Amino acid sequence: MNDEAFGANDDRVCSAMSRRLFLRATLAVGASLLAGRAATLFAAEPANDNSSFSIGGDLPVNRLGFGAMRLTGEGIWGWPPDRENARKVLRRAVELGVNLIDTADAYGPETDELLIAEALYPYPKGLVIATKGGNTRPGPNQWVPDGRPEYLKQCVDKSLRRLKLEGIDLYQLHRVDPKVPMEDSLGALKEMQSAGKIRHIGLSEVTPEQVERARKVVPIVTVQNRYNITDRKWDNTLSYCEKERIGFMPWAPVGGTRGMGSTALEKIAKDHGATIYQLGLAWLLHRSPVMLPIPGTSSLAHLEENMAARKIQLSAEE
């Protein structure tokens, strides 16, 4: 409606109604329009649920996941001493709402992926199993990167067989091999992605510059670096992931073998009736909306304790 038509219409309305009634009607119409517009906006953009994150834009996961590495034998080598207990831990994790499980072909090696299939196959709908390749295990507590394209393709195929999957939702380059150009390693994973064997690709222990370089080869949806409340070496990578909406999966989220502890941590944990490890996980969840902690354990009791960290609400000051 143009200004001239609006003026003519205004005159007709005012002649039929008192100024007060006209004002009421105008306000009512305006309020109705605003309410309708607000309803449309809220329907299109529901309130953000900070308990979940969408990996790659199409894999929704609960932000507190489970790292399966500790289910192997001592030194991350061989089968666990109690294989049935390991399966129980995996099943209980899913019962408690975990739908992101992180593993790697080097955990065991191989036994961790086999345990996951033993415990959970056929997999419940919506469960995302993230695995990794490119870091070999020649012996207990030994790690040797291998990013050769032919080796990585072989790793993907073997992980598919062990996990009983037709495609891996999230496959991560476990380490950048200094002896192999990153572009060659990621090129092999891109080929496997094109073949339908991988859905999304992630990286581990990388700088923002390395992520940028990798993204010139293939889309990167997650980064897995060591990070916790007392070890923030990779703050710059986390900031980059936040900016680019890339999932950040902190390994050793409660300190790993180094542990974590301070007077401040102990005081706040006590105030919340929690352990410092629960507080550490709660802090990670509050730290960033792209944070996807994956605490691991072989203990059912410890698993329950970890998952309870989701209920801890921290103030901005804390």
> Is residue 121 flagged as an active site residue?
no
Based on DSSP, count helices (H) and strands (E) in the chain, helices before strands: 11, 11
- Are 173 and 201 in contact by the 8 Å Cβ rule? The answer is yes
Beta strands in the chain (DSSP E): 52-55, 59-62, 66-67, 100-102, 128-133, 135-136, 144-145, 168-173, 198-204, 222-224, 247-248
In order of 52, 62, 156, the CA distances from 47 in angstroms are: 12, 16, 38
Give the DSSP letter of residue 8.
H
Q: How far is CA 232 from the centre of its chain?
A: 18
137/78 Cα distance (integer angstroms): 11
Question: Number of C-alpha atoms within 13 angstroms, CB side, residue 146?
Answer: 16
Q: Which of 107, 171, 227, 240 is catalytic?
A: 107
Q: List active site positions.
A: 107
